[in-house]
Structure 1
Amino acid sequence: MKHFCSILLISLLGSGILNAQQRLVERADRQYTDYSFKPAQDIYQKVVDRGYVTAELLQRLGNTYYFNADYEKAAESYGRLLEEFEAEATPDYYFRYAQALRSTGKLDRADSIMQRFTEITRASSDARAELFEANRDYRAEIEANSGRYDMTPFVFNSRYSDFAPSLTGEGLLFSSDRDTGNLARYRHTWNSQDFLDLYEVSPDSARGHRVTKVEGVNSRFHESTSALSPDGNTLYFTRNNVREGKFARDQEGFVRLKIYRAEKIDGVWSTIEELPFNSDSYSVAHPALSADGKVLYFASDMPGSRVGNGDSPAQSDLWRVIIKEDGTFSQPENLGPKINTEARETFPFVSSEGILYFSSDGHPGLGGLDIFATKLDYLPWKGSVQNVGKPVNSAWDDFTYVISDETREGYFASNRPEGMGGDDIYGFIETRPLQFECIQSITGTVRDKITNEVLAGATVRIIDEQNNEVSSAITDTNGNYEITLDCNQANFVRASREGYIPAEEYLSPSDGKPRVVDFYLEPESVTAGYGDDLAKLLQLSTIYFDFDKAVIRPDAEIEIQKVIAAMEKYPSLKIKANSHTDSRGPAAYNLNLSQRRADATVRYMISKGIAPERLQGEGFGESRLINRCVDGVRCSDEEHQLNRRSEFIIFE
């Protein structure tokens, strides 16, 4: 009996401990779903340390570290998840584990996990896997793009978070939580950091520069990531979804981000309004403007975004809208699969040269968020995305990159450990610009200039401005070809074929939009002199007439059309239509019949648009027979028909 009571007591104690752990996890889950990652993280870690471990607990614990850039701790949680609960780990956790490993310098292990990720997502066409497969040498690309920056100090960092630099001409806007107050109610529970405000670094004649808060837009909640219009009178910025001084939550209790617009009136920011494509149910954040101020780029997880499985609130795509003349906006447009993946694409910036810079952990990089770039003009065609390289990118989160194309000076933010605070702004000078590959597709057909017939077996070459052959292609049986060229530079496209005079077209540097370039090659024999029969030069079928008729037959029309095409191509070409008969019938009658045939041929060509002064017609009757079928000689109808013909003689 005592033994039974002891067992019962132990069981009750164990049940009580288990229930206590479950209650802690439930409390942490509520905080996690409210994006209160830091408080949730503390509880999850405590529970795991006590030995209470489930797949979901490790997933969420790993996420709280991952989305706060503690990649070493994230790798520990994800690694344990895959080791102990492999069957319950979705592909996203393989991907995040690989990213966390990269950030801790374990690149080979990270690539092996990414290989496993590509295998289990092969059927779903995951962009992250496709990019990894297509860029196996991504490390070499990063190295090739590295060493292009001289780092310069940014003296306005604090021991808090400073990030999101934005160029203003003479100064700089940025976000910081440096003096927003340390009261708990003003702290954001995502990372236990104070709420953010916008600050401005502006010239000061006495002190060189001074840092001040941006008046008129800051509140006691988050304001960050800003973009200033070219005239300096419109400011776009990110803020929490706030209504009447309080957080506005969606149906699940989440506080989303929105972009707001402020206008400067009499030197004061006012008339603040939220943009119409904001929503309580998804985030719209991190505005960036094109150089002319007519296009607004931003990050969002709005419907149509290529984001992951929903347990990762930081995931977003890049979008854009056109700003119309009246200040309204077009419908948002997703930037597409060359940019966006199932992971994080965020913090866009567009330089005056039309280069889009953004941060991503979906494209192959060094770990965490890396900064990437693409030429927007090339993007719709065969444009590529490039990692900007080290030292701007690191194993940590690198983001909010901006650059002046005139001075090549710029800034970005990073949470790398050598900084003063949680995030720090770093300055740089770009010493060597990125080279963006521009591959343009050229297609077309090669034809005979005179007959318009397609030419199979013609050679089409790409020749650079130094007269070097870059590539070549052969036309198929339909006379078609396809070839690519480097549209960063000027090129010649040259077509040639034996028996024809080569032709070429000059193509200046372009945005890479596919082009159609057709060629019409002139036969070498077209250079023949006066008196030659064009029909023979064009290798036309003989134009015959029916017995005792002067009507153009349908088969003759086809051949005469080829002569007409030649005359249209050569406006100076003049033709004399010589007509002939067979020997049957009186010679005088045949002479008259042949003249009627010549006249019929000329009238037909005039009806098709050839000027009368370019044409002559003469009948020769039976005086120029081409076979033995003279009077008194028995011949077949076929033999007689050979003499009922027309010729097209070039005359001066």
Structure 2
Amino acid sequence: MKTKLVLKQILMSLLVTLIASSSIAQKGQIEKANKEYDKYSYIDAREIYLKVVEDGYQSAQVFQKLGDTYYYNSEYADAANWYQKLINQYPNEVEPIYYYRTAQCLKSMGKYEESDLMMEAYSKVGGAGIILNNYKDDPDYLKSIAFQAKGYIVEKTRINTEYSDFGPSYYGNKIVFASATKNTEGVKTFAWDEQPFLDLFTADMDENGYLSNVMPLDGDINTRYHESSATFTKDGNTVYFTRNNFIDGKKGRDKEKTIRLKVYKATKSGDNFWTNVEELPFNSKEFSVGHPALSKDEKRLYFASDRPGTFGMSDIWFVDINEDGTYGEPVNLGPNVNTEAREGFPFISEMNNIYFSSDGQSGLGGLDIFVAPLNADGKAGKVTNLGEPANSPKDDFGFIIREEKRIGYLSSNRDGDKGSISDDIYRVQEKCEITITGLISNELTGEPLPGAIVFLLDENNKEVAQVVADENGKYNFEALAACDSKYIIRGGKDGCEYNEREVRTPSKTGTITVDLKLECDPCPPNDLGCRLALQPIYFDFDRYNIRPDAAVELAKILAAMRQYPELIIHIESHTDSRAPFKYNEVLSEKRAQSTLNWLVEKGISKSRLTAKGYGERQLQNRCSDGVECTEEEHQLNRRSMFIIQN
């Protein structure tokens, strides 16, 4: 018995030792992973964290950092998986920002309702600031984005590689972009995402914006570390670009031994050879500066940075470029643009709009592209999401455009499943669409003509579309016409002559109004008397005999019926309002039959005629019972009319 007890104690001691050894080993692995994570070596850190989890160790920190290794590489579905485990299993240890990141990941997966619920949770656990205000200010953001969406055609360019390609910038009749193709300087890979380091390349751009002939940027700009996101002066002789903290063959590291990003300047020497690379004075080894963009007048340089004073992970800043070549103090562009999340990739257009990317403004998921006008002082006005198709549930950024030509480019990983490795460059062409609307009316009376047919014809008289005018005579060709083009608007209706107008559409998306007046027959289509320009035949008060003046008008009816044997006529006869209602019914019937008999006596078959009296029910004027009228006014109501029957 004593031997069994001793053996049990020995086994328990061994088990405790093994568990303690395993725990020590796991902690050592986590410390190793944390070091890789702090150096932004996310792929290496991820492998260690995953191994630790597989071995049975879990913690809020491990789930959080595992999620981050995916989030920072734009692998949002995997990031969502670990963030949701973090929130579900360690709710008391979750920082509010992770509710927001989870919401962003869910958006990128198209799970907008779940994302909104996560935003509500973000608010309840203490989330605050610009991000939350943006959400609360527009809870129906998807509808707002759809309403504001700009019409673009987005297509992948031919210059993309199997690696990351992004960040185009204009350089005369070329673009310059960053690529991690294997044909870059050196063959080392970047520990963040295990891709080759980035270099800058040029591509020829034809008049329609199609790209070809990719070549490395000549000169001293590309190194064995990262280069990306450039901006060029209009004369093409100066470039500002992003590079790792590396110059003159020396690396610079922050206090955590990390090589940060900086903005550099270079000038062109000779035939497209870039040299004289120099670092800008507002850089630092302790924070990153990148994504430079010149203002329209080239007196201000915008950039992204996480420098002190940044609201979140990165903000857009600017510095003034002085006449002597020095630079002013960096200024944060402010909370209208910047949030507690990521803002970057600014671009200033010739129309003085700033385009930038953010995952803190209300968007469709991942990074979205936004635009805001720049005021006279260079500050941004109202921010608008470009909407689909410029944006997608994944990352969309690096947008540039020559607005006058309506052609530009953007970067996106929308067509891939490898996060940032799937970044590609897309050609963007603004859909310049014109809506043509207007009123179809009667030229003589000005009354609208509901049911009129309206045709949209191109300059070759080929039909583009046709619509029917609504009950108010309005027609609408919604976004069916192209900009800066000739069209013909043609309208017609039974009883009216066709009319048309030639128009030239404007050069910008919008709506133009083209009204058409049709020359119409003033007669109702089945009113023979009107069509033959007949005056109604009139009767004396309380009489139903055909007067001599009426016989003259009836002779015209007789001639028409002899000329057109197919004509069938209905005779409507009326009285004025004097005398009792029943009496007038009888009197009008006698007038109708008197008119019919006159035609029959002249040889018209009775089978072609019908007649009915309507008494005083269809007065032509105001002279109803009790209204004092002149004899002439009463006379207008004592009449017979002639209606063609089908």
Report TM bin, short chain. Answer: 0.5 to 0.7
User: Which residue is equivalent to 1:258?
Assistant: 262
Measure how far apart 1:244 and its partner are. 4.4
Superposition map of 1:7-18 within 5 A: 7-18=12-23
**Distance (Å, rounded) in 2 between the aligned partners of 1:81 and 1:432:** 47
On the 8 A contact 1:118/1:130 being kept in 2, the answer is no
Superposition map of 1:309-328 within 5 A: 315-328=313-326
Give the secondary-structure state (helix, strand or coil) at the position aligned to 2:360: coil
**Distance (Å, rounded) in 2 between the aligned partners of 1:303 and 1:290:** 23
2:247 aligned with 1:249, yes or no?
no
User: Which residue is equivalent to 1:228?
Assistant: 232
User: Which residue is equivalent to 2:170?
Assistant: 167
User: Which residue is equivalent to 1:285?
Assistant: 290
TM-aligned CA distance change 1:381 to 1:218, over 3 Å: closer
Match of 1:240 among 240, 244, 248: 244
Measure how far apart 1:111 and its partner are. 0.5
- Deviations along 1:516-550, whole A, 9 cap, x unmatched? xxxxxxxxxxxxxxxxxxxxxxxxxxxxxxxxxxx
User: Which residue is equivalent to 2:423?
Assistant: 423
User: Which residue is equivalent to 2:26?
Assistant: 21
2:79 aligned with 1:50, yes or no?
no
- Deviations along 1:141-190, whole A, 9 cap, x unmatched? 11123361112341111111110011123111000011346977x11101
TM-aligned CA distance change 1:419 to 1:32, over 3 Å: closer
Superposition map of 1:430-509 within 5 A: 430-431=430-431
On the 8 A contact 2:67/2:78 being kept in 1, the answer is yes
On the 8 A contact 1:297/1:320 being kept in 2, the answer is yes
User: Which residue is equivalent to 1:151?
Assistant: 154
On the 8 A contact 2:169/2:230 being kept in 1, the answer is yes
On the 8 A contact 1:180/1:220 being kept in 2, the answer is no
**Distance (Å, rounded) in 2 between the aligned partners of 1:173 and 1:121:** 43
Partner amino acid, structure 1, of 2:422: G
On the 8 A contact 1:145/1:390 being kept in 2, the answer is no
Measure how far apart 1:47 and its partner are. 1.2
TM-aligned CA distance change 1:180 to 1:18, over 3 Å: farther
2:134 aligned with 1:131, yes or no?
yes
On the 8 A contact 1:182/1:194 being kept in 2, the answer is no
TM-aligned CA distance change 1:382 to 1:73, over 3 Å: closer
On the 8 A contact 2:368/2:392 being kept in 1, the answer is yes
Measure how far apart 1:432 and its partner are. 5.0
Superposition map of 1:106-117 within 5 A: 106-117=111-122
**Distance (Å, rounded) in 1 between the aligned partners of 2:103 and 2:331:** 30
Aligned length: 422
Superposition map of 1:264-275 within 5 A: 264-267=268-271, 268-275=273-280
**Distance (Å, rounded) in 1 between the aligned partners of 2:417 and 2:125:** 38
User: Which residue is equivalent to 1:87?
Assistant: 92
Partner amino acid, structure 2, of 1:100: C
User: Which residue is equivalent to 1:373?
Assistant: 371
On the 8 A contact 1:121/1:129 being kept in 2, the answer is no
Give the secondary-structure state (helix, strand or coil) at the position aligned to 2:398: strand
Unaligned runs of 5+ in 1: 308-314, 434-652
Match of 1:197 among 196, 199, 202: 199
**Distance (Å, rounded) in 2 between the aligned partners of 1:183 and 1:326:** 37
Match of 1:302 among 286, 303, 307: 307
- Deviations along 1:273-314, whole A, 9 cap, x unmatched? 01010011111100011122111110001111111xxxxxxx
Match of 1:402 among 383, 393, 400: 400
Give the secondary-structure state (helix, strand or coil) at the position aligned to 1:8: helix
**Distance (Å, rounded) in 1 between the aligned partners of 2:411 and 2:211:** 23
**Distance (Å, rounded) in 2 between the aligned partners of 1:142 and 1:37:** 33
Measure how far apart 1:204 and its partner are. 9.4
Partner amino acid, structure 1, of 2:257: G
User: Which residue is equivalent to 1:597?
Assistant: none
Measure how far apart 1:208 and its partner are. 8.5
Q: CA RMSD in A?
A: 2.3
TM-aligned CA distance change 1:97 to 1:41, over 3 Å: same
**Distance (Å, rounded) in 1 between the aligned partners of 2:30 and 2:120:** 33
Superposition map of 1:209-228 within 5 A: 209-216=212-219, 217-228=221-232
**Distance (Å, rounded) in 1 between the aligned partners of 2:377 and 2:135:** 19
Structure number with greater Rg is 2
On the 8 A contact 1:230/1:292 being kept in 2, the answer is no
2:357 aligned with 1:355, yes or no?
no
**Distance (Å, rounded) in 1 between the aligned partners of 2:274 and 2:357:** 29
On the 8 A contact 2:166/2:411 being kept in 1, the answer is yes
TM-aligned CA distance change 1:398 to 1:262, over 3 Å: same
**Distance (Å, rounded) in 2 between the aligned partners of 1:81 and 1:251:** 30
**Distance (Å, rounded) in 1 between the aligned partners of 2:13 and 2:52:** 24
User: Which residue is equivalent to 1:36?
Assistant: 41
Partner amino acid, structure 2, of 1:138: Y
Give the secondary-structure state (helix, strand or coil) at the position aligned to 2:56: coil
**Distance (Å, rounded) in 1 between the aligned partners of 2:251 and 2:189:** 13
- Deviations along 1:192-222, whole A, 9 cap, x unmatched? 11000000012699x9841110011101110
**Distance (Å, rounded) in 2 between the aligned partners of 1:119 and 1:402:** 38
Partner amino acid, structure 2, of 1:260: Y
Give the secondary-structure state (helix, strand or coil) at the position aligned to 1:164: strand
Unaligned runs of 5+ in 2: 1-5, 434-646
Question: Percent of aligned pairs with the same residue?
Answer: 42
**Distance (Å, rounded) in 2 between the aligned partners of 1:233 and 1:379:** 26
**Distance (Å, rounded) in 1 between the aligned partners of 2:334 and 2:424:** 31
Give the secondary-structure state (helix, strand or coil) at the position aligned to 1:221: coil
On the 8 A contact 2:186/2:224 being kept in 1, the answer is no
**Distance (Å, rounded) in 2 between the aligned partners of 1:68 and 1:369:** 12
TM-aligned CA distance change 1:79 to 1:378, over 3 Å: farther
Measure how far apart 1:361 and its partner are. 0.6
Measure how far apart 1:371 and its partner are. 0.7
**Distance (Å, rounded) in 2 between the aligned partners of 1:261 and 1:23:** 43
Moved more, 241-250 or 405-414: 241-250
Measure how far apart 1:381 and its partner are. 8.8
On the 8 A contact 1:398/1:414 being kept in 2, the answer is yes
TM-aligned CA distance change 1:160 to 1:386, over 3 Å: same
TM-aligned CA distance change 1:356 to 1:235, over 3 Å: same
TM-aligned CA distance change 1:289 to 1:280, over 3 Å: same
Give the secondary-structure state (helix, strand or coil) at the position aligned to 1:108: helix
Partner amino acid, structure 1, of 2:224: R
User: Which residue is equivalent to 2:64?
Assistant: 59
User: Which residue is equivalent to 1:645?
Assistant: none
- Deviations along 1:470-505, whole A, 9 cap, x unmatched? xxxxxxxxxxxxxxxxxxxxxxxxxxxxxxxxxxxx
TM-aligned CA distance change 1:66 to 1:325, over 3 Å: same
Measure how far apart 1:245 and its partner are. 2.1
**Distance (Å, rounded) in 1 between the aligned partners of 2:240 and 2:378:** 27
Moved more, 69-78 or 5-14: 5-14
